[in-house]
Every structure is written in structure tokens, then in C-alpha cells.
Amino acid sequence: MPLLSEDLRQAIEDYTRRYATRQAALLPALHLIQERFRCVPREAIEELADLLDLHPAQVHDTLSFYGFFRDAGNPLGRFRVWVCRSLPCMLRGGEEILDDLCHYLNIQPGQTTADGAITLEFAECLGACELAPCLLVNDECHGPLTQESARQLVAQLRRAGVQHGV
Ligand code: FES
């Protein structure tokens, strides 16, 4: 039985129609797969290669080029929290917020809490310097934050992540 469901395959097909070649839909397809599985499993690489007329090695090359994607051995948590550490945010306490969240969650950037609720990451400028210091949760930017408000936000997300299962 294939790993990629019919609706996911259809969503990928929809992307292929936007580009001159099927292969050009690779990146958006990888995003869709990671969104669904919280990682890009090995079977998905093979099925996606088949779908886009690529060799699995080509899919893997693209996948490993970008730090954004995760393999099955290191899946994302329910919420991916990116803390900005570029200059404007750093000057306003972004690094301290990142350190504090590492301490609070007992993980390092790039890791996921044991309950699978939160993956913590550092980010370069999120393009929202007016909110400095800020962080991004999935697609939503939050700021300006203090260590306390960042902790509150992450605690709220963690509860939601645990409640809804991962
Ligand atoms: S430096 Fe943090 S959003 Fe630009």
C-alpha cells in the first residue's frame, strides 16, 4: 500500500500543472509531504520520485540540500518554533529568549520535546523586524516578546500539541 494518499498525490499533481515541467514541483511537493508526516519518510522519497519522473537520488539531493526538511529519524513536533537571532532581534533580547526556551523545554535548537509537541529552531531574519524580538510558529509571527511572554506562548502551544496528539 502506498504511503502517499490519494488526496496528497492529487495536491502534488495540482502543483505540477503550475510549472513547465513536473520536476519543478519537487520543492512544494516536499513541503506538502513534510506537513502531512512531520518529516519526509524514505518511502515518500521513492513514491515522489516516481510521481515526478525523477530518480530517488535526485529527490534526496534536493531534500538534503535544505536544512528545512526532516527525515523519519528526526521528525518535527506538532509546532515548529523558530526564534529569530539576527541583529535587530538579537539587540532586543532574541538570543536570551532562545537560551531561555532551550532551558525551559530542556532541548537544544533543532531538537523536539519528548512529548513531540514542540520543535525549537533558531532562525535568521524572519522579515518582521518591527516585531523584534520575535518568533515564528508554523506560519505565524509573534512579537515583540519578552522571555516571559515567549515562555507563556510556548507553554500554551505545548499544551495544545499534547492535547491534540502528535
Ligand atoms: S531580525 Fe528578527 S525579524 Fe528581522
* CATH number of domain containing 128: 3.40.30.10
Q: Quick one: pLDDT at residue 163?
A: 67
Number of domains in the chain: 2
The residue type of 30 is L
Query: Domain of 60?
Result: 6-65
State in Å: Cα 126 to ligand 1 middle: 5
Q: Are residues 101 and 49 in the same domain?
A: no
The reply to whether 97 and 159 lie within a common domain is: yes
Alpha helices in the chain (DSSP H): 6-16, 26-37, 42-51, 56-65, 87-91, 94-105, 147-163
Question: In the structure, what pLDDT confidence band is assigned to residue 165 with cuts at 50, 70 and 90?
Answer: low
State the average pLDDT over residues 75-99. 96
- Mean pLDDT across the stretch 121-134? 97
- Report the pLDDT value the prediction gives residue 151, as an integer from 0 to 100: 98
C-alpha 96 – ligand 1 centre gap (Å): 14
d(CA 144, CA 131): 5
Model pLDDT, residue 139 = 85
Q: Measured in angstroms, how far is the CA atom of residue 120 from the centroid of ligand 1?
A: 17
CA torsion through residues 7, 13, 18, 22, sign:
positive
- Per cent of the chain over pLDDT 70 is 98
Query: Residue 161 — very low, low, confident or very high, per pLDDT cuts 50/70/90?
Result: confident
Rounded Cα gap, residues 97 and 95, in angstroms? 5
Comparing 3-12, 60-69, 108-117, 155-164, the range with the smallest average pLDDT is 155-164
Residue 30 backbone dihedrals phi, psi, to 5 degrees: -65, -40
State whether 128 and 87 are in the same domain: yes
Q: How confident is the model at residue 103 (pLDDT cuts 50, 70, 90)?
A: very high
My answer on whether 59 and 134 are in the same domain is no
Short-list 49, 45, 79, CA closest to 64:
45
- Identify the residues whose C-beta falls under 6 Å from ligand 1: 84, 86-89, 125-126, 128-129, 132, 134
C-alpha cell at 117: 509537541
Interatomic CA distance for residues 51 and 59, integer angstroms: 11
Question: Sorting pLDDT into bands at 50, 70 and 90, what band is 111?
Answer: very high
Pair 56, 86 in one domain: no
Q: Answer with the residue of higher pLDDT: 166 or 101.
A: 101
Sign of the CA dihedral running 66, 107, 140, 72 = positive
pTM: 0.87
Residues 87, 58 share a domain: no
**Residue-wise pLDDT tens digits, 21-32:** 999 999 999 999
89, 157: one domain: yes
